[in-house]
A = this chain, B = another copy of it.
Amino acid sequence: MKYLMDYQEGERVVAFCLIKNKEAGVASNQSEYLNLELGDRSGTIMAKLWDVNAEMKEWINVKSVVKIDAAVQMYRGKKQLVIQRIRPAAASDEVQMESLIPISPVPVDELWTKLTHAVDSLQSATLKAIIQEALATEEIQDRLRHYPAGVRMHHNYYHGLLEHIVSLLTAAQSLLPLYPHVDRDVLYATCILHDIGKLYELSDPIAPDYTTPGQLIGHLVMGVEMVSGICQKLDISVGDAEVLHLKHCILSHHGEVENGWGSAVSGKTPTAVMFHYLDQIDSKMNALSQTLGDMTEEEEWAYAGVLRRKVWRGY
C-alpha cells in the first residue's frame, strides 16, 4: 500500500489521512483558505485547501479523518499538497487507525510479552508485586499499549513508550554482568516504571498534548506517586529500601539537578547513575534513527532536533 510520504513531486494523491493541525487564512481575493497538516503512518505533510466554504469548516477539524484528492508540489524545498477535492471518511470506508498514525515497527504483543517476561524474572518479591499491581489495571494496560514516549523528541509514535521500555530492559540485561554494583531488580523496575507518569502527563496517544497535572507535577513525581499509592495498597512499608531506591531512580533519571533538566534529585547510586545514561542512549538512538531514516540517498547531512545540530549519514 502507498502512503503519504511515498508520493513524489507531480504525482496525484488519493488517500485517507488524519488532520493533525489546521490554520485559516484569507487570500488577497478575500476568499478563505486552510493550511492543513495531514498525516498517516508514514509521516506528516503540509497541504493547502483554497476556497473553503462554511460547510467545510464544520467538518474539517483536528483529529478528523478525511479522504483527499491532491497534487504534490515543491515549496521551499519540501513537498506540499494542493488539495483538489476533500470529503470526510465514512464508517463504510473502514479506515484502520494503524494506517493513520506512525506506529512502532515492533508488534505490540511481542513487546508486551517481553515486558511480562522481565517482570517474571524479578527476584525481589516487593518490586515484582509493585509492577504487577501497576500493570494490573485495564486503564494502564490500555495506555501502555498505545501511548508514545513523548510528543516530539523520541519514540513519538503509537506504543512508542512500550517499545522504549522493552529496549531499555534489553540494554539493561546485556550490561548488568559488567557492573556488579548495579542492582538488577531496581534497574529493571526503573526501566519499566521510569516514564509511567507519562501515561497521565500526556492527554492521548493519537495527538498527544500535556495534561494539566502533567504540567503542574511532571511525569517523574507522578510516577513516584503511582508507586507510593501501590505500596500503600499492598501494605509495603514506605521505608522499604528497594522502594526508596526505585523512587530515587525515577526522580533522578533526567541527570544531575545542577544541569536543570528536571530531575528532582541527583543520582546517588550506581543504578540511578547508569539508568540515566541508558535512557539517554535509547532515546537519542531512536531519535537519530528517525532523522537518518528520513534522509534521501543524496543527503549526507540532516538536522537532528534531539541534538540541536546536523548529523552525518555516513558512507
Contact = CB atoms under 8 A, between A and B. Distances in A.
A306 B241 CA distance: 24
B251 A218 contact: yes
A257 to B, nearest CB: 5
Given A215-B301, A224-B225, A245-B216, A273 B264 contact: no
B309 A268 contact: yes
Interface string A243-259: 01101100100001111
Nearest to A30: B82
A217 B269 CA distance: 12
Interface residues of A, number: 87
Contact of A292 (B181, B260, B300): B181
Nearest to A313: B269
Interface string A295-315: 000001100000101111011
List the number of copies, as a whole number: 6
A48 to B, nearest CB: 8
A182 B288 CA distance: 10
A74 B217 CA distance: 34
Contacts of A167: 178
Nearest to A282: B178
Contacts of A215: 265, 268, 301, 310, 312
Given A221-B221, A260-B257, A241 B309 contact: no
A207 to B, nearest CB: 16
A155 to B, nearest CB: 13
Interface string A166-181: 0100110011001111
Contacts of A239: 213
A25 B307 contact: no
Given A181-B289, A220-B264, A281 B175 contact: yes
A266 interface: yes
B264 A312 contact: no
Interface in A255-280: 256-270, 273-274, 277-278, 280
Contacts of A224: 217, 221, 225
